[in-house]
Chain A
């Protein structure tokens, strides 16, 4: 069977089917109103105590953000309208608490379930979770205790509520399989934080498997093996061992320097888009953020973000990073990133069109608002500004001029900012790479954007499937352009980083190190692996073969040479 892998790792254990106990509610007339209200209040008190406990365990075991779910749960049980209506119902109709809880809960669920707003629809799940807890207390129904499992167990459920997941004993629960839910469901997020392998979307699984059956799940592929044979067990046990030893090795990389065997130190940073990504950078011990894609602040909405909104976003990322560098890329729109309210006209060749710095220099208000927000945030951390899609030096000069103007405005308003803020550009157009020596005299740093550099150098549309075979990061011309950019940057005394996908490509990291790249910025989940790799490479050794590689004829030759001479020989990983 196969589902969707939502939390990586291999789980091998006995099945425990977890079903919500059935709650039967009977309408009863009560005689003593006071007694019934007291019964309800006692139950509320107990349910709130339970939620407080779950809040505390979640705070310790998972994190503050996840624990907040239970603050919302508590808020519902303390809600004057909700609880007030329940009490009114009991008093007005002389009915039992359970029936009143059910009726009032259904009333709200009916209001919320058809609302367009996704957040409110989600609250329906929370209201159900909370009301079920209250009903179980009232009815003295014991829930299967997920915290006292004694053997290696894979929990199989239709769905798990946040409170179920929070109770899981992660020493004994080696996997979670659910019929519903995706990568972003509460359960998946919590499973990932707790390092429990998980698979979701396993249709009908609660009816297919039985309690105590042996099961294997692979959280990377989504594979589920029920009653596996001996051979499968051996295969997956080995996979599990490899996974655990790699995870351990990578965990050990935390707090260590990104330094090669022969003492060459680099910086490994993360690329981020949304504010949540910054937590991933910190979790993976990134040494900074090499690319903050600010366009996400502008997307999925119907008007421009205000200066204040942007300032808050930049400030909060900067503060989380402390002294570590944060490279903020100014608005990179157009091309494949369409934002309807900006009214960028349809173009024949949007990738070569009205986009990024070209758009910003033509829409001064938007550009200045962003620069003001960045500069204001700059005193809260170590911010650097980066212009995307630069194609000639006039654009750099114009961009810097605007920054100066904005700085002058801020000074007049007595608003402080980092006077020495570094300004850099993305090198993603071949002309800039070729002429990089001149560009280097204008800026404080380069960041090579390989995704577009490959697209523009090889004249291959990144999104066109018919020609995707031509899009290749091992193309010797691409490697030469990268080397040329690094060399030219160094000749003029500036640092050179890379924020394109190549920076996290395990086969190319040794080459980039040998070329002298100063900063590698990548998907946060690749940071520790890259550090591990770099700590196992001797820069000098690769330098010796670099010329040979750059002189190979084809991308295939390059990849083969790297496989044979670097990956299999030099790297002991």
Chain B
């Protein structure tokens, strides 16, 4: 199991369009992924879950993956959030 903590820096965090972009991206991976915020677990393959997380700019979240290619998945998702998401 691999985890990585990141701080959201884009303007609307994981609210607006970024939420749906992120869900589409996360759904590509087969392994078991979780997002943890304030001790609660969320499902990155679910738009409802990501939106109800209410993660805004400056919030810190943990990405956790377990299974096939877990290290790569965590790094790629972190990179996606930090560099590829646009408001």
Binding site for B on A (CB under 8 A): 72, 75-76, 79-82, 108, 111-112, 115, 117, 119-120, 123, 301, 309, 312
Contacts and interface: CB of A to CB of B under 8 A. Distances in A.
B23 interface: yes
Contact of B52 (A72, A111, A301): A111
Contacts of B15: 117, 119-120
A561 B72 CA distance: 74
5 contacts: A75-B20, A112-B52, A120-B15, A120-B54, A309-B86
Secondary structure type dominating chain A contacts: helix
B11 A108 contact: no
A123 B86 contact: no
Given A75-B47, A79-B46, A115 B12 contact: no
A406 B56 CA distance: 34
Chain B interface: which size bin?
A: 10 to 19
Contact of B46 (A72, A81, A111): A81
Contact of A80 (B12, B20, B43, B51): B43
Interface in B34-87: 43, 45-49, 51-52, 54, 56, 86
Contacts of A111: 52
Contacts, number: 42
Nearest to B15: A117
B16 interface: yes
Contact of A81 (B12, B43, B54): B43
A69 to B, nearest CB: 11
A117 B48 contact: no
B77 to A, nearest CB: 17
Which has the most chain B C-beta neighbours within 10 Å: A76, A79, A309? Answer: A79
Nearest to B51: A120
A76 B48 contact: yes
A79 B16 CA distance: 17
Closest A-B pairs by Cβ, 4 of them: A81-B46, A119-B16, A117-B15, A81-B49
B12 A119 contact: yes
Nearest to B49: A81
Contacts of B49: 79, 81
Contacts of B54: 115, 117, 120
Given A117-B12, A120-B51, 13 more contacts: A72-B47, A79-B46, A80-B46, A81-B49, A82-B48, A112-B51, A112-B52, A117-B16, A119-B12, A119-B15, A120-B54, A301-B11, A312-B86
Contacts of A309: 86
A108 B47 CA distance: 11
A309 to B, nearest CB: 8
B51 A75 contact: no
A383 B77 CA distance: 35
A75 B23 contact: yes
B23 A117 contact: no
A523 to B, nearest CB: 26
A123 B45 CA distance: 17
A123 B11 contact: no
Contacts of A75: 20, 23, 47
A135 to B, nearest CB: 17
Contacts of A80: 43, 45-46
Contacts of A117: 12, 15-16, 54, 56
A551 to B, nearest CB: 54
Nearest to A300: B11
B46 A82 contact: yes
Contacts of A120: 15, 51, 54
